[in-house]
Amino acid sequence: MTMPLIDPFARAITYLRVSVTDRCDFRCVYCMSENMTFLPKKELLTLEELDRLCSTFVDLGVQKLRITGGEPLVRRGIMTFFQSMSRHLDSGRLQELTLTTNGSQLERFADDLYAAGVRRVNVSLDTLDEKKFAEITRWGRLPQVLRGIDAAQRAGLRVKINAVALKGFNEEELPQITQWCAARDIDLTWIEVMPMGDIGNEDRLDQYWSLKDVRAKYAEHYTITDLAERTGGPARYVRLEETGQKIGFITPLSHNFCESCNRVRVTCTGEIYMCLGQEDVADLRAPLREHPEDDAPLQQAIRAAIERKPKGHDFDYSRQRLDGQMPRHMSHTGG
Ligand code: SAM
Ligand code: SF4
């Protein structure tokens, strides 16, 4: 039997997030600069290589696979990848195949995703105001995303909205966004903005809206109860008693969640990041390409990387400096 992946701090690695492209049809101000330079195509893992890589992780005990990007649904042929991954759902070795998307292509792909065994999808949406949406995403258009969300729900996919909490931007919209989600039976999670990548003039300390304050804002409108639910990641949940809604908070900067971390991230070039907040990285593309017929070197490289998984990250806004700032973009590691 293959030994599962256990890191030096006795954490089992059962969750893999894979970025399948660094490209995107949006240019969200907190994520990318308007003139992003993207990787040359030959650097990217092919869909077949991504399949082999993910399947090797499944062989090593990964049970949950999240596909992200960039925008995963703009990668050409990505639906064949989803269809192919569904064999691991059928075999019962993979428990969940899911994705994080900006929603722009969901209208086109929702049914195919469902057919491939996807049951839940995270859609990133920071505002319900058309003008503000165009401002924050630069290239995105709200009606297209809303049609995508409708299509996803019609297809039978459970939708969760991820909203980046931005001071002075969507602060006042909190009750509307919450009610909009409640009316559609959509879960909602707020994410604290993180210091990732060099994205031009946006000053993240100005944008930073602490989720402690978001929570306080909820307390003005609702009775909130803390929930014990944990996913091995940074999310914490509360229930709004008036609506029965579950609201998530992802606070990578102000909370220490690392002790229960169960995940690693792989980029579209086959680099494995053992921690979102640390620079340490290992290359999986070389063992993948150099040994097309033999998975053992790839398995060894994965195990060696997991052996180096650090205890935690170093983000810290508390001193009002961008301590622990990461030079790479979220679109690179996939958030
Ligand atoms: N394009 C897809 C999307 O937007 O959902 C998937 C990739 S995107 C990088 C994944 C998530 O990262 C999105 O929810 C996005 O809002 C979030 N994100 C991007 N830059 C961020 C930042 N600087 N701080 C916090 N979250 C960020
Ligand atoms: Fe694209 Fe997602 Fe980054 Fe926005 S957050 S630019 S949609 S990758």
How many CB atoms lie under 10 A from the CB of residue 200?
11
Report, as an integer, the average pLDDT of 221-230: 90
Token output for 33? 């600069």
- Which residues does ligand 2 sit against, CB inside 6 Å? 24, 26-28, 31-32, 69-71, 102, 124, 330-331
Q: Looking at the predicted structure, is the pLDDT value of residue 21 above 60?
A: yes
Checking phi first, is residue 163 left (phi over 0); if not, alpha (psi -120 to 50) or beta?
Answer: beta
pLDDT tens per residue, range 35-93: 999 999 999 999 999 999 999 999 999 999 999 999 999 999 999 999 999 999 999 99
Given this model, what pLDDT does residue 259 score?
78
> Nearest 5 degrees, angle CA 228-CA 231-CA 235?
75
pLDDT tens per residue, range 85-143: 999 999 999 999 999 999 999 999 999 999 999 999 999 999 999 999 999 999 999 99
CA 85 to CA 235: how far, in whole Å?
26
Ligand 1 atom nearest residue 71's Cα: 1
For ligand 2, the distance from its centroid to the CA atom of residue 157, given in whole angstroms, is 21
Quote the distance between the C-alpha of residue 246 and its chain's center. 19
- Sorted by where each starts, the structural domains of the chain and their CATH numbers stand as 15-333 (3.20.20.70)
Please report which confidence band the pLDDT of residue 200 belongs to, taking 50, 70 and 90 as the band edges: low
- Which residues does ligand 1 sit against, CB inside 6 Å? 24, 30-31, 68-69, 71, 100-102, 124, 162, 164, 191, 193-194, 196, 330-331, 334-335
Strand partners for 4: none
Specify the higher pLDDT residue, 310 or 162: 162
CA 136 to CA 27: how far, in whole Å?
8
Strand (E) or helix (H) holding 172:
none
CB 45 within 8 A of CB 77: no
Given this model, what pLDDT does residue 90 score?
98
pLDDT tens per residue, range 143-173: 999 999 999 999 999 999 999 999 899 999 9
CA 142 to CA 129: how far, in whole Å?
8
Q: Looking at the predicted structure, is the pLDDT value of residue 318 above 50?
A: no
Q: Does the annotation place 181 within a ligand binding site?
A: no
Predicted TM-score of the model (pTM):
0.92
CB 67 within 8 A of CB 82: yes
If DSSP codes are grouped into helix, strand and coil, which group holds residue 97? strand
Report, as an integer, the average pLDDT of 26-39: 92
- Choose one of 17, 21, 25, 28 to mutate for the ligand 2 pocket test, by most ligand atoms within 8 angstroms of C-beta: 28
Given this model, what pLDDT does residue 196 score?
56
